[in-house]
Amino acid sequence: MTGSRRCPHCGETVPSYSLTCPRCYRDIPREDVSRETFREEGGRCGIPRDKSRTLTMILAAFLPLVGINGLGQIYLDHREAKGWFFLAAGLLLFWGLVFLIRVVTGSGWLGATLAFIAALIVGLMYISLYLAQLADAFFGSVFGVFSNGRHA
């Protein structure tokens, strides 16, 4: 086993094949790592990194269309906490939107108008959540970009 290294930002132990820190999600200076080293150090049962990335993007891009956000982050072990947040928030917003749409179709004009405005707001929040979790799955941490003026 090739051994681990430390994150230059927070000091967390980071496997040599990792591109980001599992604690602060900031970029780690890269070193050349072979596929065998990746397997030896526990890299996702020997699946090459690009296949893991592809499945992550499929989970992050298509499942939110039916209200399930965050599975891309949950699939990536080091972003599991954010994945659960995206999943809970996404389910809450999605089903809230479904409820509001049902209210719009089944009430008088005043109730329908108010529910329509609320549905627009909740819909925009859901779209924002979708884009945030998609960006997080593709680029890494979207929340760490603003910390200390450095990219996460």
pLDDT in tens, 8-42: 888 888 887 777 888 888 887 765 545 455 444 44
Q: Would you say residue 107 has pLDDT above 50?
A: yes
62 three-state secondary structure: helix
pLDDT of residue 2: 52
Which amino acid appears at position 78 of this protein?
H
Contact 120, 108 (CB under 8 A): no
139 or 89, which is more confident: 89
- Crossing angle (nearest 10°) for helices 80-105 and 109-139: 160
What letter would DSSP give residue 76?
S
pLDDT of residue 77: 60
Average pLDDT over residues 56-77: 82
- Among the listed residues 5, 84, 88, 79, the one whose alpha carbon sits nearest the alpha carbon of residue 41: 5
How far apart are the C-alpha atoms of 93 and 98, rounded to whole Å?
9
38 three-state secondary structure: helix
Q: To the nearest whole percent, how much of the chain has pLDDT over 70?
A: 72
Tokens matching residue 39: 């397997």
48 or 78, which is more confident: 78
How far apart are the C-alpha atoms of 70 and 137, rounded to whole Å?
9
Q: Which residues pair with 15 in a beta bridge?
A: 4
Q: Would you say residue 124 has pLDDT above 90?
A: yes
What is the band of 103 on the pLDDT scale with cuts at 50, 70, 90?
A: confident
